Amino acid sequence: MQKNLNKYFPILVLPTLVAFLLAFVIPFFMGIYLSFCEFSTVTNAEWVGIENYISAFSNKDFINSLIFTVKFAVVAVITVNVFAFLLALLLTKGIKGTNIFRTVFFMPNLIGGIVLGYIWQSIINGVLANYGITMLMDEKYGFWGLVILMNWQLIGYIMIIYIAGLQNIPQDVLEAASIDGATKLQTLIKVKLPMVMSSITICLFLTITNSFKMFDQNLALTAGGPANKTTMMALDIYNTFYGKVGFEGVGQAKAVIFFLIVAFIGISQVAYSRRKEVEG
């Protein structure tokens, strides 16, 4: 069996490997190269060095979008994980109809981002209309609108991961804590949280990356208004690349910067959380 596996493994892997190279690896490195070029198509690229990166960091809208995205990510990551974990705790108590509640809470994650954005735009603007305002009158409305949307979409999905982690805690550990006189709060902090650190690592990574990469919901909900004050990084890159003639290289440079930021934060978070898992 092992001999057959070794014999046919390269043949079986080849189609997937070729697809991976064509769809990801080659475009990835080509994108890095194009970030140092001025171009309108990949065939007329001219090397300009770091000019695109200088233009990107000199762009006030890009810096504002970076600051706005970081603020949004911090609030969204905290709120999504806190509410998801609380729901997971509640739905692992043996409440009647738990499976129905899990399904209902998970369903928003199945709705596409564009559709979800327009739905919440109608809801939020409908509520604000009672006070004679809309989301585009002040950036704070757009900010909290995006936070609400993110929470509504992701809480159910993250909750399922936390539920899986909580259900994997050995009952004898919880019983031992109870026998030792630990309160419910002490059990939660000293036993349950350390035991679900692997789930916390996954959930933090998913919420951080999804918060930074948010595009379609941002486009549908506020489209960056008012005056680009609620434009997140992904939308700013899109507007630069497709909305300004001759700025394709700058848009590509912004995309590379965006990738490096998200990769650094994601890898740092996973590395830190993994150490906590070992300690737990």
Averaged pLDDT for residues 161-179: 89
Q: Indicate whether 276 pLDDT > 80.
A: no
Q: Which of 113, 126, 130 is nearest to 232 (CA)?
A: 113
Q: Indicate whether 31 pLDDT > 80.
A: yes
Among 87-96, 157-166, 200-209, the least confident range: 87-96
| Torsion angles phi and psi, residue 17, rounded to 5 | -65, -45
Q: Which residues contact 248 (CB under 8 A, 6 or more apart)?
A: 34, 38, 39, 40, 241
pLDDT in tens, 120-162: 999 999 999 999 998 889 999 999 999 999 999 999 999 999 9
Give whole-number Cα distances, 132 to 125, 127, 142, 226, 241, in Å.
10, 9, 15, 16, 36
Q: Indicate whether 278 pLDDT > 70.
A: no
Averaged pLDDT for residues 8-31: 90
Among 77-86, 151-160, 181-190, the least confident range: 181-190
Alpha carbons 91 and 125: distance in angstroms, whole number: 32
Instruction: Using a cut of 0.85, tell me whether the model's pTM lies above it.
Output: yes
pLDDT in tens, 203-246: 999 999 999 999 999 999 999 989 899 999 999 999 999 988 88
User: pLDDT tier at 76 (50, 70, 90 boundaries)?
Assistant: very high
Which secondary-structure segment (H or E) carries 268?
helix 248-279
User: What rounded mean pLDDT belongs to the chain?
Assistant: 91
Q: Indicate whether 192 pLDDT > 60.
A: yes
Averaged pLDDT for residues 162-172: 90
E-strand ranges in 81-188 read none
Q: How many helices (H) and strands (E) does the chain have?
A: 14, 2
Q: What is the pLDDT of residue 65?
A: 96
Alpha carbons 270 and 205: distance in angstroms, whole number: 7
**Identity (one letter) of the amino acid at 44?**
N
Q: What is the pLDDT of residue 280?
A: 45
